[in-house]
Structure 1
Amino acid sequence: MSAQVCVFGIVACLQVLVHNKLSFLLTRTFLGLAEAGYIPGAMYTLSTWYTKEELTKRIAIFFFGMFGGTAASPLLGAALLRLDGKCGLFGWQWIFLVEGLFSVAVSIFLFCFLPEHKEVPRSSNQVDFSGLRPMKGPLAHPSKPHIPFRLVWKTLTDMRKWPHFIATGCVFATWSPLTTYTPSIFMELGFARIKANAFCAIGSLLTLPVILFFAWMSDKLSKRGLTVMVAIFVYLIALVMLRIMMHRVDKWGKLGLWTTVNALAVGYHPIHNSWIQINCKSSEERNISVA
């Protein structure tokens, strides 16, 4: 996991050298490849330390880091854009360089301090890294050192998992482009570049209480599937409102609509993530499903 973060940071730094469309597309492709395994790996690691009852809250806290970073990134970008022209670099080059170097530094921290999960005999209890209490249950530890291809195929063709996969695909097909192009959208509404980047942080910050609320709701009701459906339906309502109202309000109204959509898009995600893991029969199946 630390190696993935390090490679991601190095590729991010190399974007400073981008000078045409082809080099841009190539570096972005490698950037995607470098980051793709981190979240599934992190989810799997969490599942080896916590029980079914504990997992949802821990995943929600994990996504606090992800979406908190998404909120801080536009603010950092807005600040770094002010360095435009310093040391012969454009503002966008400063963004890639600083954020890439930060990722490399974090990878070193991760390598030094992330505790490795040690497989233990089935007859004993897994102890978490705090050393304070034993862990029990099917999520406690992996059962095999490798994953055979036939299990990958069996998991991917299991129709009971397809609602999970389709739901994730549908939400991210709308949310990911929105977050990627939100600064450009805000600039088209008439906001200056630096201000547009800063405004992007609002929706991401609002995501934090949203995911916390749905995680609390999931634990309170013990109905993960129902909570996921409610959260996705709330996001759908926000999208419909955006579609209906977009051309009827001024730029501040449009800013509010886009911000609402960004805030509500992924409230379902931590619960959905733990839901699919809990329904898996083995650690190997859980790993593949999350990926």
Structure 2
Amino acid sequence: MTKPDVNYQNDEEIASSDSNDDKEFEKSLLRKMDLRIIPFLTFLYLLSFLDRVNIGNAKLAHLEESLGLVNDQYNWCLSIFFVGYILFEIPSNLMLIKTSPSKWIPSTMVFWGITMSLMTLVKNYHGLLLARFFLGVFESGLYPAVIYYITMWYQRSEQNFRIGLFTIGSSFAGSFSGLLAYGIVRLDGKLNLKGWQWLFLIEGGITVLVAFFAYFYISDYPESAKWLDEKERRFATQRLIQDAGKAHVIHFDKTQLFEAFKDWKVYVSMIQIFGLATTLYSFAMFLPSIVNGLGFDFVISQLLSVPPFLCGTASTLFVAVLSDRKRIRGPFIVILSLFGIVGYILLIVPSSGITVKYIGACVVGIGAIPCLATSVAWLTNNVAGNGKRSVATAMLVAFANVGGIVGSQIYRPNDGPHYLHGHLMAAIFLIVSIFFTIVQYYCLKKINKKKREDPQSFLDGKSEKEIGAMGDKHPDFIYIL
């Protein structure tokens, strides 16, 4: 089993980061890490999100007519993806720990890329349903693995920005999918393939090609990265240990894997992210149809699907930077969710003109898209111990994809072209998220107060070994709010 924890606490070569020289060295190291790690991970998530939501573009390219889909069969083809995703998310992250990021992440990409390309061959509803299920199974290996991977390279106060940069891959995919689909579906009729078949074939093939490159490009952990020199490797590892303080668990223990199932924070976060993800996935999968329902034709609908995601990208970057600087997560989730609700109100109000409704879609993008990254960062920031964090991350993302199942159902075919039911349900799920965000914020704030005022109460009755394995329950570990 891979054991990424390395103890450099007694290494005298690592100086205190208080000096100006060390601060400059640290900035230089972060820039080097950022340039090497984040752009490539963002590109991988772009491919992942592109492959899962391009079915929305395929729908506009007459997928339903070609396969003879009727009633709610299309929606179930959306939902089944998340069933496969949810079932294999925790096993996938356990495999990540047992193997390594450089092997596991590219392998999952190869399998989902092949599955995507093979969707070209489906002939009916059941074939599409089966293909979408396995697409979810194989894609489940990327997102939670990368979130865990980022926590193995960056301190807590640095993670939301990097997770934000990674997750804007979904925004880029939302923007890029319309443009790419517009170009690809023009191949309709070439080699006796329909436009939607070309869409699946080309996008799946791109994923497989990138996966083979990823085998050689991805490094596992700071202490083994060949593109860092010895001092950089030691410094990168030591700063993570210092960030966790006494909550750092030096030796990997299988018992850590079960700690996530006993932590209330994980379950509150799961409900919170369920509301956020339901909104985001429904928005991503149905935006082309929503825009089309405003009265635009197929081509214009594809192109007008781009700006709302670009707005979400800009919002994600701005919020991620500000959230890391302030070391605050919960209040940003509340504010952003309120933005999303305002956007849906603009879409719902009957008297709103086409321009106002389209602005509403952009406002939804500004509010809904950044929430997911901030929510994930909030939990990973407040869970210590690599095994526990791995399982907690997988549990969180799995429940986010339960939101994907629900989100794929709330925009019903007979509700078009205005989709008032879908807009209303998405807004309600944001309200649910706001409630649980506030609950978690005040609970963590109360615990932090007790940790500061009466730290000994957390340690009484525990042996030295038990104290060393407390992780985020240790009084020295102050939760980020």
- Paired residues of 2:308 and 2:362 also in contact (CA < 8 A): yes
Residues 281/205 of structure 1: CA separation in 2 closer, same or farther (3 Å cut):
same
Which residue pairs with 1:73 in the alignment?
A: 177
Q: Is 2:364 the counterpart of 1:230?
A: no
1:32 aligns with 2:136: yes
Q: Following the alignment from structure 1 to structure 2, what is the Cα–Cα distance between the partners of residues 142 and 113?
A: 28
Measured against aligned partners, the alpha-carbon deviations of 1:174-216 in whole angstroms (never above 9, x if no partner) come to 2212211222222233222122112111111111110111112
What residue number does 1:84 align with? 188
Asked which structure has the greater CA Rg, the reply is 2
1:45 equivalent in structure 2 = 149
Percent of pairs identical after alignment?
Answer: 25
Report SS of the residue matched to 2:240.
coil
Q: Is the 8 A contact 2:117 2:200 kept in 1?
A: yes
Deviation (angstroms), 1:128: 8.9
Quick one: structure 1 residues 230 and 199, their matched pair in 2 at CA, closer, same or farther if it must change by over 3 Å? same
Question: Are the equivalent residues in 2 in contact too, given 1:81–1:94 (CA < 8 A)?
Answer: yes
TM-score with structure 2 setting the length? 0.54
Report the alpha carbon displacement of residue 112 of structure 1 after superposing the two structures with TM. Answer: 1.3
**Structure 1: gaps (5+ residues):** 121-125
CA distance in 2, matches of 1:22, 1:142: 47
Structure 2 partner of 1:123: none
CA distance in 2, matches of 1:29, 1:221: 40
Is the partner of 1:265 in helix, strand or coil?
helix
| Residue 186 of structure 1: aligned partner | 291
Cα distance between partner residues in 2 of 1:157 and 1:249: 48
* Aligned match for 1:96, one of 184, 200, 205: 200
- CA distance in structure 2 between the aligned counterparts of 1:209 and 1:223, rounded to whole angstroms: 19
Shift of 1:12: 0.5
Aligned to 1:271: 374
Where does residue 151 of structure 1 map in the other structure? 257
Contact 1:277–1:290 (8 Å) recurs in 2: yes
Q: Which structure's relative contact order is higher, taking Cα pairs within 8 Å and 6+ residues apart?
A: 1
Query: What is the alpha-carbon distance in structure 2 between the residues aligned to residue 147 and residue 198 of structure 1?
Result: 49
* Alignment partner, residue 391 of structure 2: 288
Q: 2:266 aligned to 123, 141, 161, which one?
A: 161
Inter-partner Cα distance in structure 2 for 1:127 and 1:11: 31
Contact 1:56 1:274 in 2 (8 A): yes
1:176 equivalenced with 2:281 (yes/no): yes
Give the superposition deviation at 1:142. Answer: 8.1
Instruction: Say if 2:219 is the partner of 1:115.
Output: yes
Matched, 1:217 2:322: yes
Quick one: structure 1 residues 129 and 264, their matched pair in 2 at CA, closer, same or farther if it must change by over 3 Å? farther
How many Å separate the matches in 1 of 2:294 and 2:332?
A: 34
1:147 positional shift: 4.7
8 A Cα contact 1:78 1:195, kept in partner: no
C-alpha separation in 2, matches of 1:151 and 1:157: 10
Answer with 178-187 or 34-43: which moved more.
Answer: 178-187
Match of 1:255 among 358, 366, 387: 358
The aligned residue for residue 6 of structure 1 is 110
**Could you tell me which amino acid in structure 2 is paired with residue 151 of structure 1?**
L
Moved more, 103-112 or 266-275: 266-275
> Could you state the TM-score of these two structures normalised by the residue count of structure 1?
0.87
Match of 2:311 in 1: 206
Structure 1 residue ranges (4+ consecutive) displaced by more than 4 angstroms after TM superposition: 126-129, 138-148
Aligned counterparts of 1:145 and 1:93: Cα–Cα separation in 2? 46
Find the aligned partners of 2:226 and 2:146 in 1 and give their Cα distance.
Answer: 16
